[in-house]
Amino acid sequence: MKLTKRMKKLKDRLFEVEYNDPGTWHFKEVNILEEHPELTEEPLVVRKAYAQYYIGKNLPVTIKEDELIVGNPNQNSVAWGTVMPLYFTKEEGEHAETYELNESSIWGHHPPQYDKVIKKGITGIIAEINAEIVSEMRCAKPNPKKLNEWRAMIIALDGVVEFARRYAQEALKLSLCCKDIVRKRELFEIYNTCRHVPQNPAHNFNEALQSFWFIYCMVNSAGEYVPFGRADQYFYPYYKKDMDRKAISKEHGADLMASFLVKCNERIIMDTKKAENHATFGMFSQGRIPELTEKKAQTGGYEQRQWTWKENEDINSDSNYNYGQSGNDWLMNCIVAGVNENGNDATNEVSYLFVDLMASMRLLMPTLAARVHKDSPESFLELLANTLRYGQGEPMIYNDDAIIPGFVHMGVPLEDARNYSNDGCWECLVAGKSHFSYAHIMNLQLIEFILFQGKSLKSGNKEAPDTGAPHIFKDYNAFYAAYLKQMKKAIDFQCERRIKNFGLSHMIAPDPLFSSIVDNCIEKGRDISQDGAKYIFHMLIITGLSNTVDSLAVIKKLVFEDKVVSMEELIQAVKDDWKGHERLCARVMNLVPKFGNDDDYVDAIAMTLMEDFEDMVDDWNRKQEKLLFCSGIGTFENYAVLGRDTWATPDGRGAGEALAPNFSPTAGMDISGPTSVIKSVTKPNLLRYFSGCPVDISVNSNEFEGGAGVERMVNLIKSFCNLDGQIMTITSTNVADLRDAQVNPHLHRDLRVRMGGLSAYFIAMAPAQQENIIKRFSR
């Protein structure tokens, strides 16, 4: 799309001003109990609501030049510290800490029901809450917990209204003294909009965007990292209405959309040294029963947060490694197009605007995904193809025809299944109705546990069961049986733990604001951090699948079938981190089939492993009813740091080397091109992996030139879908550009890359990450 004058100005401001100084954070010194001692008597959830109200009342109000959509959230990326005012007592804090929880133990990830706010307005939602209160009060014994949750919701929602009201005032003030007659009118329009939404239902496209943005700002500012869900679906009815009655021009519609998208990017941090290493799992504690506490880094473990670049350490030190991934509004994902709840194509003009504007303006956020299906319009697929072939790596492709049946198989009603969206990373859930969490199963390390009888080579500690002396396995089946034992133990551990700790975080980190806009929290009078949401998903994730499968192939082929390497020899090599075993390492790397090359020998190992995994996870759905346990494959953007904590492995991988990202083949090992990768990842039945197993495909941009190139990309996407593939990213670039960007970062400020859930400006990635990306393209 050709950028309008306004778009150019907005983009310039973003790249020239905002990216250099995205602003500071607020409120970490504020304690609302000191400001309002009378609140001490209130239950914690109500105090939290007052803290949220406080944010709405005190966030700075700034209206920037040329913008049509206004408002900025707190700088609430993981990079930026505690954003909430304190609302709990010292004792409450200390008590929570014994459960490895604190006020930051908010899970985020899942989108709220933005469309409900747009449609009903906050007034409408409060009316709904009041109705529940009235009906509860009629009971013989009204439930005080429910009543307090509802009270808290109302207070927190008032904070959103207050936030908007302050913007309205600012816009009016600016409008009154503005000399430029055009801008004066625009500011007055902003005043009218902010005066009206999100308190009331939106009337037009402008109001729908603004209403959405205010609610996002407030939810995000209180520590909840939330994605956008199906934003194009929420906006389109208003866009269409404006177009039908010719209330705005197409150009103005695009300008509004562009202004909205620019707001999403104003908090990006380009300087890797300013970003925090979030891979320590510090924030996302799911809590632990004190008696069960093991000091072991797990997802959801609570550890001291590490932040800021340490100048006196090299780029590979513990604190400096893996930086540069969190320099944005974390988890701000958005998914467009796809079918509606009736199963009909719902790709609309706003879907096109999202894709086109993100690419034309070279924007990073929201991280964009597109749903496709067998009836997707050809022109939409062409737009995706055209965007993807220029190396954007986005949008990520989601195949409705493969994902929706998975939800249904899980027991989710078809209408809800068709309304799925992605969460903050890439996992699929039902937008506005879900609580989503996950845990990694360290599949690769399980092999280490067999080879070293339960011991971790990295820590030296016994961390898993002893499945017997490894050299006595008589064949591969016996070895694999031990593997299944290790895997079952790991899955059971995580599932049991999640059942026990679910709801714990409510003691310190409830979120009444977020809860007020998630089905069925109002109806139940329960918080999202309890069991308020309609669906509670917990995904168990195969971590390092490709390395695991390649390792198993090495053991199967070289040790048991060809009998050319003894188990002892292999164990010694792994233990020695392959040092002194270079010839064996070369044999392992180059002469054993590798996942991702459409080689049935090794792909069959993946198929079996995945089936066994999903069976074990599925068992837990028969054992209890509260949580929906589902299977996925992933590393997120943490494949480097996950690898850093893993010792050498039988696939020839050295100690500390990155894992293969998500469902992708190991970097440098997929030597047969993109079609082979697609074939390998679609051989297993992915039905029960509906909540996510993304594969990253890298292609050379010069293979997609001209009209034939667009068509080729469309066909690559269609073939992936025909083969029942699920989620795919296609990144096209060339190595020369990436190399040049390392040397001349200033010339490549807008070079973006994408791997699974990670989307980042290349120059803002850690050198180690950059090398990993380059390796993928250097075939």
Residue numbers at the binding site for another protein (CB under 8 A): 582-583, 586-587, 590-591, 598, 672-676, 679, 703-709, 711-712, 715-716, 718-719, 722-723
Looking at the Cβ atoms of 565 and 693, the one nearer to another protein is: 565
* Dihedral over Cα of 246, 251, 256, 260: its sign: positive
Decide whether 576 or 582 has the Cβ nearer to another protein. Answer: 582
Nearer to another protein, 181 or 708 (CB): 708
Question: What letter represents residue 445's amino acid?
Answer: Q
Cβ proximity to another protein: between 455 and 587 the closer is 587
CB of 588 to another protein, least distance (A): 8
Nearer to another protein, 453 or 672 (CB): 672
Q: How far is the CB of 548 from another protein (least distance, A)?
A: 22
**Contact indicator for 322, 764 with CB cutoff of 8 Å:** no
Q: Which is nearer to another protein, 612 or 724 (CB)?
A: 724
Whether residue 467 contacts residue 449, with contact meaning beta carbons closer than 8 Å, is answered with yes
β-sheet bridge partners, residue 733: 700
The candidate with the shortest Cα–Cα distance to 476, out of 374, 378, 559, 546, is 559
Exposed, middle or buried by CB within 10 Å (0-12, 13-18, 19+), for 619? middle
Q: Closest approach of Cβ 705 to another protein, in Å?
A: 5
Nearest distance in Å: CB 450, another protein: 25
Cβ closer to another protein: 320 or 664? 664
Q: How far is the CB of 740 from another protein (least distance, A)?
A: 20
Element containing residue 2 per DSSP (H, E)? none
- Closest contact distance (angstroms) between CB of 358 and another protein is 26
Nearer to another protein, 460 or 706 (CB): 706
Min dist CB 739 to another protein, Å, is 18
Q: Is 430 helix (H, G, I), strand (E, B) or coil?
A: strand
Residue with smaller CB distance to another protein, 222 or 565:
565
Report residue 642 as tokens: 């996950």
- C-beta of 459 vs 702, nearer to another protein: 702
- Residue 698 Cβ vs another protein, minimum distance, rounded to whole Å: 12
Minimum distance from residue 389 beta carbon to another protein (Å): 11
Task: Locate 56 and state its tokens.
Answer: 């709405």
Nearer to another protein, 297 or 671 (CB): 671
Helices (H), 370-503: 378-388, 400-410, 414-418, 443-451, 476-501
How near is the Cβ of 390 to another protein at its closest, in Å? 16
Write down the least CB distance from residue 585 to another protein, Å.
Answer: 8
Single-letter amino acid, residue 734 = N
CB 187 within 8 Å of CB 193: no
What DSSP designation does 42 have? S
**Dihedral pair phi/psi, residue 462, rounded to 5°:** -80, 120
In the bound state with another protein, the residue whose beta carbon lies nearer, of 365 and 372, is 372
> Prior bond to 395 cis, omega within 30?
yes
Comparing CB distances to another protein, the nearer of 349 and 703 is 703
Name the residue nearer to another protein (CB basis): 35 or 582: 582
- Cβ-based neighbour number of residue 762 at 10 Å: 24
| Residue 674 C-beta: closest distance to another protein, Å | 6
Q: Is residue 622 packed enough to be buried (19+ CB in 10 Å), middle (13-18) or exposed (0-12)?
A: exposed
**Exposed / middle / buried, residue 327 (Cβ in 10 Å: 0-12, 13-18, 19+):** buried
Q: Cβ atoms within 10 A of the Cβ of 290, count? A: 11
CA distance 189 to 207: 10
Rank residues 418 and 557 by Cβ distance to another protein and give the closer one. 557
The CA distance from 631 to 610, in Å, is 9
End-to-end CA distance of the chain: 33
Q: Rounded to the nearest whole angstrom, what is the least distance from the CB of residue 702 to another protein in the complex?
A: 8
Distance CA 436, CA 533 (A): 10
Cβ 417 to another protein shortest distance, Å: 26
Hey, what are 585's tokens? 């390492």
In the complex, minimum distance from the CB of residue 709 to another protein, in angstroms, rounded to a whole number: 7
Whose CA is closest to 222, among 444, 516, 483? 516
For 24, counting Cβ atoms within 10 Å of its Cβ (0-12 exposed, 13-18 middle, 19+ buried), the class is exposed
Q: What secondary structure, in 3-state letters, does 347-386 show?
A: CCHHHHHHHHHHHHCCCCCCEEEEEECCCCCHHHHHHHHH
Q: CB of 263: closest distance to another protein in angstroms?
A: 39
Q: State which residue, 288 or 373, has the beta carbon closest to another protein.
A: 373
Residue 518 makes CB contacts below 8 A (sequence gap 6+) with: 110, 112, 113, 432, 433, 434, 435, 528, 532, 533
d(CA 103, CA 125): 26
Rounded Cα gap, residues 86 and 56, in angstroms: 15
Instruction: For 641-693, list the strands marked E by DSSP.
Output: none
CA distances from 776 to 675, 753, 762 (A): 15, 12, 14
Asked if 59 contacts 26 with a C-beta cutoff of 8 angstroms, the reply is yes
- Degrees to nearest 5, angle at CA 309 with 304 and 312: 110
* Residue 237: Cβ within 10 Å count: 17
Tell the smallest beta-carbon distance from residue 710 to another protein (Å).
9
Whichever of 109 and 389 has its CB closer to another protein, that residue is 389
CA separation for the pair 650, 544 (Å, rounded): 13
Give the nearest distance from C-beta 718 to another protein in angstroms: 5
Grouping H, G, I as helix, E, B as strand and the rest as coil, residue 730 is strand
Residue placing its CB nearer to another protein in the complex, 748 or 779: 779
Main-chain dihedrals φ then ψ at residue 758, nearest 5 degrees: -80, 130
